[in-house]
Amino acid sequence: MEPPPGRLPKAGHIQWRVGSFPTQVVGESNYQRAIMAECGSHTRYGVEHECVATVRPDPNNRFDPNAVEVLIRGQRVGFLNREWAPRMKEALAAVGLGSATCGALINGGWRTNHHDEGHFGVRLAIPSWGPLDFGGGLIHGEKREWPKKERRARPVSSGSGPLLGRRIALMGAFQSKLPEELAAMGATIVAGVGKTTTDLIIVGSEPPFTVGERRSRGFEIATEAAASGQAIRIWGEDEFREAHRAG
């Protein structure tokens, strides 16, 4: 629980772009009831619920002295992972803050008619790269340049295989070997969604997709194309693999 109001440490609010939630909370499966208190119960297709979370060091944690807990409405919903927690703890101490709030996205929580259900997950609007801006001029860390992406040639279709004739666009495949795997199975890898694209795969993600992914231009073009009658489908990476194996 949060400490009494009179004893609350000074807090800030992490500044980050709207609709982007790059940091995944861990351990949410142990706090499903607290998460549902914010977003409600399971639904047929899951939820995408934006809210505000608090990150705060948990020095009395007997498993990890660097633990940073994540709370929503004063209730713990998980922790930052072991890589991120020390960085957040250091940043808060460096700018004189005891905690910070940030944007949060609760997703998942689907339930089928056969009572098969998925856990709720929580993602945070905390950048995974560069300085942390806590507002009010409180910034920790130096600005760093994003690594330049090397131009990567698209793999050529093998000309045979179960995916022959499929024209596949991929989103987020910078370091993935998936394009080569698909091309080896006969698929043609295209630069972006066009009039002949049959599939868009969101690499490293699964439905229901995050708000940030759904707001990407490629996702929007694919959605509009499907609505206009084009035979195109949007897939998560594992979802596509499972469908191919099943076929």
**Strands 99-108, 47-57: parallel, antiparallel or unpaired by DSSP?**
antiparallel
Confidence grade of residue 11 (pLDDT, cut at 50, 70, 90): confident
Secondary structure string (H, E, C) spanning the chain: CCCCHHHCCCEEECCCCCCCCCEECECHHHHHHHHHHHHCCCECCCEEEEEEEEEEECCCCCCCCCCEEEEECCEEEEECCCCHHHHHHHHHHHCCCCEEEEEEEEEECEECCCCCECCEEEEECCCCCCCEECCCCCEECCCCCCCCCCCCCCCCCCCCCCCCCCEEEEECCCCCCHHHHHHHCCCEECCCCCCCCCEEEECCCCCCCCHHHHCCHHHHHHHHHHHCCCCCEEEEHHHHHHHHHHC
Q: In the prediction, which pLDDT does 147 show?
A: 59
Q: What is the pLDDT of residues 101-143, one digit of tens each?
A: 999 999 998 887 766 778 899 999 999 888 999 999 999 987 6
Q: Judge whether residue 8 has pLDDT over 60.
A: no
Q: What is the percentage of the chain residues whose pLDDT exceeds 90?
A: 69
The average pLDDT across 16-26 equals: 93
The average pLDDT across 218-236 equals: 95
Q: What is the pLDDT of residues 174-191, one digit of tens each?
A: 778 999 999 999 999 999
* Ramachandran angles phi, psi of 124, nearest 5°: -120, 150
**What residues contact 151, with CB distance under 8 A and at least 6 apart?**
none
Fold of 167-246: Rossmann fold (3.40.50)
The residues spanned by each domain of the chain are 5-140, 167-246
Are 50 and 3 in contact by the 8 Å Cβ rule? The answer is no
